[in-house]
Chains A and B, each alone.
Chain A
Amino acid sequence: MYPDNYKYTKEHEWVLVEGDTGTIGITDHAQSELGDIVYVDLPKSGAVVVQGKTFGSVESVKAVSDIFSPVSGEVTAVNEALAGAPEKLNEDPHGGAWLIKVRLTAPDETGNLLTASQYQEYIGAAQA
Chain B
Amino acid sequence: MIPATALKRTPLNSVHRRSGARMVDFGGWDMPVQYTSLVEEHHAVRQRAGLFDVSHMGEIEIRGVEAFQLVDHVTPNSIADMKPGQAKYSALLYAHGCFVDDILVYKLSHEHFFLCVNASNQDKDYQHILAANRWNAEVDFASNRYAQLAIPGPKAEATLQKLTPATLASIRYYHFLDSEVAGTPARIARTGYTGEDVFEIFIPPDEAPRMWDAVLEAGAEFGIRPCGLGARNTLRLEAAMALYGHEIHATIDPFEAGLGRMVRFDKGDFIGRDALQARQQRGLQRKLIGFEMRGRGIGRDGYEVLSEGRPAGWVTSGSPSPTLGRNIGLCYLPAAEAEVGRTIEVVVRGQPVEAVTVATPFYKRAR
Residues of A within 8 A of B (CB): 32-33, 35-36, 38-39, 57, 59, 61-62, 64, 90, 127-128
A selection of 13 A-B contacts at a CB cut-off of 8 Å is A35-B22, A35-B34, A35-B230, A36-B37, A36-B38, A38-B298, A39-B297, A59-B298, A61-B319, A64-B298, A64-B349, A128-B1, A128-B4
Distance A36 CA – B43 CA, assembled complex (angstroms): 13
In the assembled complex, B50 has its CB within 8 A of some CB on chain A:
no
In the complex, the chain A residue whose C-beta lies closest to that of B23 is A127
A57 proximity list for chain B (CB < 8 A): 349
> What's the dominant secondary structure at chain A's contact region?
mixed
CB-based contact A61/B22 at 8 Å: no
Distance A64 CA – B230 CA, assembled complex (angstroms): 14
CB-based contact B296/A61 at 8 Å: no
Distance A44 CA – B322 CA, assembled complex (angstroms): 29
Interface residues of B in 1-54 (CB under 8 A from A): 1-2, 4, 22, 33-34, 37-39
A127 proximity list for chain B (CB < 8 A): 1
A128 proximity list for chain B (CB < 8 A): 1-2, 4
B1 proximity list for chain A (CB < 8 A): 127-128
In the complex, the chain A residue whose C-beta lies closest to that of B322 is A61
In the assembled complex, the CB of B359 is this many whole angstroms from the nearest CB of chain A, namely 23
Number of interface residues, chain B, beta carbon within 8 A? 19
Distance A32 CA – B37 CA, assembled complex (angstroms): 9
In the assembled complex, B320 has its CB within 8 A of some CB on chain A:
yes
In the assembled complex, B143 has its CB within 8 A of some CB on chain A:
no
A32 proximity list for chain B (CB < 8 A): 22
In the complex, the chain B residue whose C-beta lies closest to that of A33 is B22
B22 proximity list for chain A (CB < 8 A): 32-33, 35
Distance A28 CA – B38 CA, assembled complex (angstroms): 17
CB-based contact B39/A36 at 8 Å: yes
Distance A32 CA – B230 CA, assembled complex (angstroms): 14
Distance A57 CA – B300 CA, assembled complex (angstroms): 15
In the complex, the chain B residue whose C-beta lies closest to that of A60 is B38
Interface residues of B in 288-338 (CB under 8 A from A): 296-298, 300, 319-320, 322
Distance A36 CA – B296 CA, assembled complex (angstroms): 17
B39 proximity list for chain A (CB < 8 A): 36, 61
B298 proximity list for chain A (CB < 8 A): 38-39, 59, 64
CB-based contact A35/B4 at 8 Å: no
Partner of B38, one of A39, A62, A64: A62
Contact with A along B212-243 (1 / 0, CB 8 A): 00000000000000000010001000000000
Partner of B37, one of A33, A35, A38, A59: A35
B33 proximity list for chain A (CB < 8 A): 35, 62
CB-based contact A35/B349 at 8 Å: no
Which of A33, A35, A127 counts the most B-chain CB atoms under 10 A from its CB? Answer: A35
Partner of A39, one of B2, B234, B296: B296
Distance A90 CA – B37 CA, assembled complex (angstroms): 10
Distance A35 CA – B227 CA, assembled complex (angstroms): 13
CB-based contact A61/B4 at 8 Å: no
A38 proximity list for chain B (CB < 8 A): 298, 320
In the assembled complex, the CB of A56 is this many whole angstroms from the nearest CB of chain B, namely 11
CB-based contact A61/B234 at 8 Å: yes
B4 proximity list for chain A (CB < 8 A): 128
Distance A123 CA – B296 CA, assembled complex (angstroms): 32
Partner of B230, one of A39, A62, A90: A62
Whether A61 touches B349, Cβ cut-off 8 Å, given contacts A35-B38, A38-B298, A127-B1, is no
